[in-house]
Amino acid sequence: MIERLKNWLVGYQKEETQKPGDEERMEVLKKGPMPRHVAMIMDGNGRWAQKRGLPRIAGHRAGMKTVRHITRVADDLGIEALTLYSFSTENWKRPKDEVNYLMGLPEEFLRTDLDELVRRNIRVGMVGREDELPDHTKRAIEGFKEGTKDNTGMILSFALNYGARSELIHATQRIIEDVQSGKMDKEGVSEALFDQYLYTANLPDPDLMIRTSGEVRISNFMLWQLAYSELWFTDELWPDFSRELFYQAIDDFQRRSRRYGAV
């Protein structure tokens, strides 16, 4: 076990950085239509750890490293918004230790990555039910929001305690309240207005949704917002999701023809 942990630590130290040819690759991709908003279901951390005989939390730790390098790639490509499904409303059912570990990751990420995010002019936000998070997690999220509030570049959102069905119910309840209090009338409820009641009110709909680990489903993620998104799946587990795979996803996106129901 010690040997395995040591090997894993060595691997963990290796940050995925740009390799020769990356600049050229990105320049080519930048000439095509770039998705404004990319949403990702980061799946497979547990399996990644299991395959190595490690505890599941080692997979989440490695997954956080992938969050760091994928954020860099998205920013380098000029993507406007990146939303990462980090904890679903269903994930509370996991063992307590795992939940606690996941709830501690935003604090750790704040400590290790805030400076770089500020340097990159990235604004951090969250989508999901913030009020139900533990206080220390809320403080970390507030720390991110406060520390990056003046930034004007890419918006990096963590979907935390997020579930699309609960988001839709919450939005509907608030709309009913506003209609009942006379703030607006029923006829004023349009798709554009509904958007404004979602956690993602300040974001464009995702153009591209990526899911790792071979699962081909949406899992209660952005059900409203993904209506016309291009979906892209890979068998690779999230900790192994690389720069190269991200380029491939963008390249595939650029070859698709988006018709939004027209011919």
Known catalytic residue at 135: no
Residue 136 in marked binding region: no
Known catalytic residue at 91: yes
Do 12 and 69 form a contact (C-beta atoms < 8 A)? Answer: no
Q: Of 22, 91, 195, 240, which residue is the catalytic one? A: 91
Rounded Cα distance, 214 and 26, in Å: 26
Min dist CB 196 to ligand FPP, Å, is 26
Min dist CB 53 to ligand FPP, Å, is 14
What are the residue ranges of helices labelled H in 52-159? 56-77, 96-119, 135-148
Min dist CB 187 to ligand FPP, Å, is 40
| Chain residues that interact with ligand FPP, rule: CB under 6 A | 42-47, 60, 63-64, 67, 86-87, 91, 102, 105-106, 109, 158, 213, 238
Residue 230 in marked binding region: yes
Reading the block at residue 92, the tokens are 């509370």
Smaller CB separation from ligand FPP, 3 or 131: 131
Do 159 and 190 form a contact (C-beta atoms < 8 A)? Answer: no
Q: What is the DSSP letter of 94?
A: S
List Cβ neighbours of 71 (8 Å cut-off, separation of 6 or more): 82, 117, 122, 156
Smaller CB separation from ligand FPP, 158 or 232: 158
Residue 60 in marked binding region: yes
Residue for token pair 């760091």: 68
- CA distances from residue 173 to 167, 176, 203, 244, 245 in whole angstroms, order as listed: 10, 5, 21, 43, 40
Min dist CB 144 to ligand FPP, Å, is 9
Residue 218 in marked binding region: yes
Residues placed in the known binding site: 43-48, 56, 60, 88-90, 92, 94, 211, 217-219, 230
Binding residues for Mg(2+): 43, 230
Q: Which residues are annotated as a binding site for substrate?
A: 44-48, 56, 60, 88-90, 92, 94, 211, 217-219
Enumerate the active-site residues: 43, 91
